[in-house]
């Protein structure tokens, strides 16, 4: 049989170390066995070695695809749509996930996991609440329940803070939580600064003046760990939503790794 020369050339270039990208299309156990069966890589490959390499890898890849065709584990809708670090889209997805009235039909379980991440009572979700986007005062995500709690989420992935941004948002949260508005007591008000590394903001008022609401610096790894625990629990009844959360976490991990 005539060898596939272009394919062999590409394998020769990759020969010194098996490309880690291959791990995305085969499972680790099969890959380790595959490497054991390869010729000695301390010497230059000959044509027969490389031809055998391409044949064995092709067989292994075909077997993997056949076994995983139904679930397509590496198809990530967020990567396909190139979500990237677009904070507006990330906020839209998180708001959708935490809204108990949304189309995921899982109720308030993801808001409960978020409340756990910021050390607030999960029982707050037992009463009606609303999730808003870009309001009031253009807040990325606001979640409030009359007389019970009010949460502002400022979502920062790779953008900087605006002029006195956190100070303005803190004042807005205090204003909207007062009697005549949401009527939320100070202990039920939280301003969350969500970032990849959980860093502190540069535009927050001095801690001595933070008497109207509590402030929380929350990292994405902390948040998605709580979301994933909820998605994998018996409380999440949808395999599709579980897969969606998994894909989102993979996207977040890729974004953080590139920063």
Span 21-51, pLDDT tens digits: 444 444 556 556 656 665 555 555 555 556 6
* CA pair distance 108, 114, nearest whole angstrom: 10
Residue with tokens 């253009």: 138
- Mean pLDDT, the chain, integer: 84
* CA pair distance 215, 210, nearest whole angstrom: 8
CA nearest 245: which of 235, 232, 258? 232
Least confident interval from 17-31, 193-207, 213-227, 228-242: 17-31
**Domain locations along the chain:** 5-68, 79-258
Span 50-100, pLDDT tens digits: 667 677 777 777 777 777 787 777 788 898 888 889 999 999 999 999 999
Span 124-135, pLDDT tens digits: 999 999 999 999
- How far does CA 214 lie from the centroid of its chain? 25
Q: 144: which 2 tokens?
A: 């409030």
CA nearest 228: which of 209, 253, 248? 248
* CA pair distance 184, 7, nearest whole angstrom: 66
pLDDT: which is higher, 189 or 10: 189
Span 101-125, pLDDT tens digits: 999 999 999 999 999 999 999 999 9
For residue 258, name the pLDDT band (cuts at 50, 70, 90). Answer: confident
Q: Are 93 and 251 in contact (CB under 8 A)?
A: no
Phi, psi of 129 (to 5 degrees): -145, 165
pLDDT: which is higher, 76 or 153: 153
Span 160-171, pLDDT tens digits: 899 999 999 999
pLDDT at 92: 96
What are the b/e assignments for 115-139, b being 16+ CB within 10 Å?
A: bebbebeeebbeeebebebeeeeeb
For residue 10, name the pLDDT band (cuts at 50, 70, 90). Answer: low
Strand order in the sheet with 189-195: 130-133, 141-145, 149-155, 189-195, 214-219
pLDDT at 35: 60
Residue with tokens 């292994």: 60
Q: What is the pTM of this model?
A: 0.77
Q: 32: which 2 tokens?
A: 């380790």
- Please state, in angstroms and as integers, the Cα–Cα distance from residue 115 to each residue in 8, 16, 133, 227, following that order: 54, 49, 18, 11
Positive or negative: CA dihedral 26, 32, 33, 39 = positive
Q: If 0-12 CB within 10 Å is exposed, 13-18 middle and 19+ buried, where does residue 187 land?
A: exposed
pLDDT at 102: 97
pLDDT at 79: 86
């Amino acid at each position: 049989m005539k060898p596939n020369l272009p394919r062999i050339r590409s394998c020769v270039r990759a020969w010194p170390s098996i490309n880690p990208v291959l791990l995305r299309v085969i499972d680790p156990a099969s890959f380790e066995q595959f490497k054991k069966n390869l010729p000695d890589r301390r010497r230059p490959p000959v044509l027969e070695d490389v031809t055998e390499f391409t044949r064995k890898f092709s067989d292994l890849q075909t077997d993997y695809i056949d076994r995983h065709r139904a679930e397509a584990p590496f198809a990530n809708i967020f990567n396909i749509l190139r979500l990237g670090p677009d904070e507006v889209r990330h906020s839209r997805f998180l708001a959708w996930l935490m809204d108990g009235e949304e189309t995921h039909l899982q109720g308030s379980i993801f808001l409960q996991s978020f409340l756990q991440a910021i050390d607030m009572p999960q029982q707050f979700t037992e009463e009606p609440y609303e999730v808003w986007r870009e309001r009031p005062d253009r807040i990325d995500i606001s979640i409030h329940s009359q007389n019970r709690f009010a949460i502002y989420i400022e979502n920062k992935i790779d953008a900087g803070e605006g002029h006195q941004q956190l100070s303005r948002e803190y004042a807005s949260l205090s204003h909207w939580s007062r009697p005549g508005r949401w009527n939320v007591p100070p202990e039920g008000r939280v301003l969350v600064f969500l970032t990849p590394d959980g860093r502190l903001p540069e535009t927050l008022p001095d801690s001595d003046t933070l008497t109207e609401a509590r402030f929380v610096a929350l990292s994405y790894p902390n948040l998605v760990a709580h979301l994933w625990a909820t998605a994998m629990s018996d409380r999440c009844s949808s395999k599709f939503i579980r897969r969606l959360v998994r894909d989102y976490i993979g996207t977040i991990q890729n974004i953080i790794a590139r920063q």
